[in-house]
Each structure stands twice: as C-alpha cells, then as structure tokens.
Structure 1
C-alpha cells in the first residue's frame, strides 16, 4: 500500500492518513468506520496499531474498491501531501558513507577516510528537519554557502527492536520512503555532523510510505536525483555497503528502535561536494529525489 499523510484542500482540518488508490486518497479512519472498526487517523497511530490494522485495511480496500463509501475518497489532485510522518517522535537515524563510490568522492572533497568504515557511521537529524513534498528547503546564506543534496532510501520501523539478530531484522520494517538528506557542507564541526545535517528543513521526506510487503527486495531499487531537471545522482540500492538488516541490527544493539523510527540508509555518489567543479543548491533551484516503486519527492530551494 501507498500510505500518505494529507490535508484536504477543501477543508480546514488536521492532517490525516490515507491510502493512494486509482488517483484517489482514501481516508483510513473513515473507511474503518464503514466496518465499525477503529482505524487510526494518523500515520504513527497506524504504525502503532500493528499488522492487524493493515490486514483490516487491506480487507476494506478489497471490499469497497469498486465503489468507495461516500466521504471516504478524495481526488489526489485535491489534497496536499505532507511528509508521511510530519513530526517523528525522535531524531531520524542517518547513515554516512554507505556507498563505495560516495566514500571515494567524500575522501577527495570532504577530507573523510578513503577506506570503507568498519561499522556503520550513524548520525542523527532532529524532527524539526522534516518537511514534505513541495515544501521549501531553506537556504540561509549567513550560515552556509555549500548547501548539498543526498537522495536516500528511508526505512520506517514497525516494531520495537533491541538486541535483535541481523537475520531477523527485516521483520521489523514497516515500509519505505524517499529522503533527501540535505547537508550544509561548510557547517561540519570537528567531525560532528548534526549542525551540518540537522538544520530546519534539512530532511525532505515523502511522498508516501510504501509498505514492506510491496517491496520484497529493497536492495534492488533505482535511486536518482535531479537539480532543475539535470541528473545529479543515479544508482541502485544494491550498491549499499551495509545492507538494511545490518543497519537495523547495529543501531538496535545499543539504541532501542521504536515504531515510527526512521533510518536514512545513505547516498550514492553525485553529491554537489563531489562534483568537479563543486556545485551547490541556491534559491530558485528545484530538487527532485526519486526512488523506484516509491515515487518522486520535489522541493524548491528558497532564501531565508
């Protein structure tokens, strides 16, 4: 299922969770009411409700797909899509240096090590970094002159995980999304990345979460990113150095992963810092990050 958080443009109401089907957004909670079942109205609520809620939702879709009950479906063109999880409960887990070619370009341009890391390089991005489709990436020229892009596959956790085996890790995945890990390259501080990567609007996310059952192999997805229509990054998740089970097990060895937690799994080569000459984002640019089977995440860059 393609799950979204949306606002109906014709109504002034809180954001709700929906399913994208046949150019419509079907409201999860309202569809549940048709079966006198309590389905959640938020994405975090739906994740918390577990597999039984998804099974019920699938059954209701199969029952009503030929004719949606009145008031449950809205044309996709009449809604505003938000980040699938507009306000994560805690920081997003970022993974640095997880593609061999990106490690090579980073060692040339960002003074990182030439060798692949022995263990995943984990950093974090605060919840306030998250923005949704078509929301603006803020460019503050007083803070940075080197604003950069990074297309990434995002993994959304569905169950509490602590001290789990790598072989069991995929069972803890709820679904996948697209993340653009924005970075102010000139804001790194003595090897610490959070100010570089954790500023407001530095985590565009969306346009949806695709549930794990619809992506049986997340290590075979095309990734791409364009700036003003020109391809900057193009690769495949097969090139990840540390695969998703290894990332989940590594983080969960010391930090409890909870439902709704998000892991941004790293970026391939083609970032602005690695190009010759180097290339950055500026106000007026439009960035589109795409992951196969999930969708395209579009964001303009604006001056603040």
Structure 2
C-alpha cells in the first residue's frame, strides 16, 4: 500500500495512493488524521484502509498537493558513511572532521531536526546558505512500526513498517566546522521526504532497490541498497541499543557515492537547480532549489 499525506480544505489529510487517484482515509472517521498515529495502528490500520480503498471516494492526484508523508515525533535518525564508495569520497573530500576511519567500524548516527522537513515539490532554500556549500544526498528512508528497545537484528525486520525517500541536504561547511553533523544537516527545508510511504509488504527485496539522484536531469548517484555497509536490521539493532524507538520513527539509511563534494571541484547546489531522487517501487522525490 502506498500511503500519502496531502493538503485538503480541512488541513493535512492521509490517504492511499491508487493509480492516479488518492483515496482519503477520512472516509472512515474513526481512523487517525495523522500518519504517525495511523502507523501505530499497525495491521489493523491497514485492514481498515483496505476497506476504505474498496468503497471510498477518490481525489485526483493531478492537482493535489502532496506533503511529507510522515512527520516523526523524534528527530529523523540518519546514518553517515554507510556506502563504501561514499565513505571513501567523503574521507577524501576535506569536509570530514568527524572521524579518522574511512570506513566506520560501527554505524555513524546523527539526527536532523523535524523543522527541516518539507514535502515533494517544496523548495529547498539553498540561497539561505551563506557558505554556498549545500549538497544533496539521496537516501532510502525506513519507517518503523512497532517501537522497541534493545531490538535484535533477528527481530528487526518485524519493526519495519515501510519505506520512503529522504534527501539529506547538507551544508558541508557547517558539517565540517561543527564536527557533529546536526547543525549542517538541519537547516530549514533541508529534509525533503516523499512522495509516499510504501508499506514493507510491497517491497519483495529491499536490497535490490536502487537509489538514484539526478541534478538538473544529470544522474549523479546510482547504487543498490544491498551495498549498504550496515544493513537495515543492524541499524535498528544499533540505534535501539540506546534509543527507545517509537512507532513512526524514521531512519535515513545513508547516501551512495556521487554527492557534490565527491567532484573536483565540488559541485554544490545553486538556486534554480532541480533535485530528483528516485527509488524504484517508491517513486521520485523532486525538489527545486531556491
């Protein structure tokens, strides 16, 4: 099932994307209006959504405004240097002030502020970056269903509710200057999400998915998820070893090689650029730079 959050006359609403239509879940007034609360219902929520899908009204996708599919209660949890080739390009870029290891021995975890989240089509305000070092990072986002604490790798797949796309836009100068990534990763508008939240049952083999990022139509990033250094179960286990995970929490799993700082000279974002992150089975997240 492809779940979306969209703008309606009464405010943000949730629905199911079915072909070229959105089926609003408001047809069942007992269902939550917020995606995190809906995710917390688990299988029961999906069963009730399926009933709405069979009999509910439809809104054309064309002309509708999609919003970020989910806004977690906790910060977006992110993983640095989680593809081998990107770990090497980052280490050689001159912007990595966080560690001496090229390929980390354990997941590098940081977070992005919720205030950075925007949806599909929303502008990312790179003109606010006085350093001129804004960079793109297309990533697979994992949305958690059941929360958990000290989740084992064996049990971790049962905690995955679904997947979305994250563009972990970053101000590289601030990332380097502050060493810890939070400031450089959390500028306003620097966390586009979307276009949909695809439930885990729709993805047969998450490792076979490809993360592709295009800037102004030029393919810059292209790698399968199976190339992750730390796979999704190990990320869930590592984070939950200290963090009490909650329904709707999200993990951005890391970015492949091909980011702007990997070029010589670096190819940073500028107003007028268009970023497109595509993951087969989920869709394309498109955001202009302003």
TM-score, length-scaled by structure 1: 0.90
Residue in 1 that maps onto 2:79? 95
Deviation at 1:78, TM superposition (A): 2.6
Which residue does the alignment assign to 2:63?
78
Tell me how far apart the structure 2 counterparts of residues 286 and 73 of structure 1 sit (CA, whole Å): 30
**Based on CA coordinates, which of the two structures has the bigger radius of gyration?**
1
Question: Which of 277, 283, 290 is the equivalent residue of 1:289?
Answer: 277
Are 2:134 and 1:143 aligned?
A: no
Counterpart for residue 44 of structure 1: 36
Matches of 2:129 and 2:230, distance apart in 1: 36
**Maintained 8 Å contact 2:83/2:227:** yes
Distance 2:136 2:171 in 1: 9
Comparing 52-61 and 279-288, the one that deviates more: 52-61
| 1:1-304 superposed matches below 5 A | 1-8=1-8, 12-30=9-27, 32=28, 38-61=30-53, 64=54, 68-69=55-56, 72-85=57-70, 87-109=71-93, 110-111=95-96, 113-140=100-127, 143-188=130-175, 189-302=177-290
- Distance of aligned partners of 1:142 and 1:270 in 2 relative to their CA distance in 1, 3 Å threshold: closer
1:257-293 CA-partner distances (Å, limit 9, x unpaired): 1001110000000000011221010001111011110
CA contact (8 A) 1:132 1:205 kept: yes
Relative to 1, partners in 2 of residues 1:185 and 1:142: Cα closer, same or farther, differing over 3 Å? closer
Secondary structure of the structure 2 residue equivalent to 1:280 = coil
Deviations for 1:183-223, whole angstroms, at most 9, x for unmatched residues?
A: 10011234211111011111100000000111132111011
CA distance in 2, matches of 1:26, 1:130: 24
Name the CA distance, whole Å, in 1 between partners of 2:267 and 2:102: 25
Note the aligned Cα RMSD (angstroms): 1.4
Give CA-to-partner distance per residue, 1:125-154, whole Å, 9 cap, x none.
010010000001011455321100000000
| Shift >6 Å, 4+ stretches | none
C-alpha distance in structure 2 between counterparts of 1:144 and 1:194, whole Å: 16
Normalising by structure 2, report the TM-score: 0.95
